[in-house]
């Protein structure tokens, strides 16, 4: 059976202990970013029927940057900054390349184009899009790890295990698109337009196949790297710290399901995103 060859591991605990102060700062900053994001997205959406609270983030772009900062900061603590940069770099390059080809040809996600809603474009793709991919790639990585391995980080050594975990991670990530796409591509927002429509709120089925392909590629490339080079976290991953990415996933689920998208998302979101979330929470309870 094919497998990825291991390399000698450093004393991770010793190295993490050297940077405990830096680790505490990373966790504190990530918690603040998540708290503000949760207020701007989930909490405001929940209380909206009774009161309208001010948006302090600047809408979709501001919320994207907040969740991106959370993912980068938390990943830097849990994976180490080198692994985080590699993970982010792979995500940004692969997602932009797939999106660029997708918009130009319609061959990956189906025929679509971006409007000016998301701001400056690099080629055919708004610069915000590769950032948005990573803001959810990382929480989905943690959720898949908890479901499959009862731990928040780390990848198996064997290639078959890497491919399976990459597939599971891609499923968790693509579940988000079932919720966010009807909202952002809908008539009220119009961040992108599906030119030929499709059976799922005007979205082609090919789009979700393209999402699986894109995220699977990202996860395979990163998990191969992670299996080859040992993680250098800033500290131990306790149950509370591992909970934060799950809260990020839950917050964006609530934010999107209570958005101005179709009312059916109120039912769809808790199942397509809620199921992996509940499974991960169940596994989380087994962590020491």
pLDDT values of the chain reduced to their tens digit, one per residue, 288 residues: 444 444 444 444 444 444 578 888 999 999 999 999 999 988 988 898 898 888 888 888 999 999 999 999 999 999 999 999 999 999 999 999 999 999 999 999 999 999 999 999 999 999 999 999 999 999 999 999 999 998 999 999 899 999 999 999 999 999 999 999 999 998 888 999 999 989 999 999 999 999 999 999 999 999 999 999 999 998 888 899 999 999 999 999 999 999 888 999 999 999 999 999 999 999 998 877
Q: What is the CA radius of gyration of the chain?
A: 19
Which two tokens mark 257?
A: 């399901």
Packed helices 274-284 and 128-149: angle between N→C axes, nearest 10 degrees? 50
Length of the chain: 288
For the chain, what are the domain ranges? 21-48+55-284
Cβ 230 vs Cβ 10: under 8 Å = yes
**d(Cα 69, Cα 82) in Å, to the nearest integer?**
16
pTM over 0.75: yes
Going by the DSSP 8-state scheme, the letter that residue 264 receives in this structure is T
- Six token digits for residue 143: 């959720």
Name, in order, each residue with C-beta under 8 angstroms of 158's C-beta and a sequence gap of 6 or more: 1, 2, 3, 4
Residues facing 126 on adjacent strands: 121
């Amino acid at each position: 059976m094919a497998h990825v060859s291991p390399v000698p591991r450093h004393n991770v605990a010793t190295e993490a202990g050297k940077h405990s102060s830096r680790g505490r700062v990373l966790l504190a900053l990530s918690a603040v970013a998540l708290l503000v994001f949760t207020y701007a997205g989930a909490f405001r959406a929940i209380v909206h029927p009774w009161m309208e609270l001010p948006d302090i983030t600047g809408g979709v772009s501001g919320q994207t940057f907040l969740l991106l900062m959370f993912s980068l900061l938390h990943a830097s603590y849990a994976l180490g900054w080198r692994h985080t940069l590699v993970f982010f770099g792979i995500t940004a390059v692969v997602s932009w390349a797939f999106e660029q080809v997708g918009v130009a040809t319609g061959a990956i996600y189906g025929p679509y184009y971006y409007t000016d809603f998301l701001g400056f474009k690099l080629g055919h793709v708004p610069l915000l899009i590769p950032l948005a991919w990573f803001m959810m790639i990382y929480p989905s990585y943690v959720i898949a790890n908890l479901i499959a391995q009862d731990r928040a980080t780390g990848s198996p050594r064997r290639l078959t295990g890497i491919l399976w975990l990459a597939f599971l991670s891609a499923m968790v990530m693509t579940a988000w698109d079932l919720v966010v796409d009807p909202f952002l591509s809908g008539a009220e927002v119009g961040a992108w337009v599906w030119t030929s429509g499709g059976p799922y709120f005007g979205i082609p089925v090919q789009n979700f196949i393209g999402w699986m392909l894109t995220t699977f590629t990202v996860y395979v490339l990163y998990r191969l790297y992670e299996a080859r080079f040992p993680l250098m976290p800033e500290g131990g991953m306790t149950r509370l710290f591992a909970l934060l990415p799950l809260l990020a996933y839950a917050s964006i689920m609530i934010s999107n399901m209570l958005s101005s998208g179709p009312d059916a998302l109120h039912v769809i979101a808790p199942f397509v995103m809620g199921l992996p979330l509940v499974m991960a929470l169940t596994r989380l309870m087994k962590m020491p």
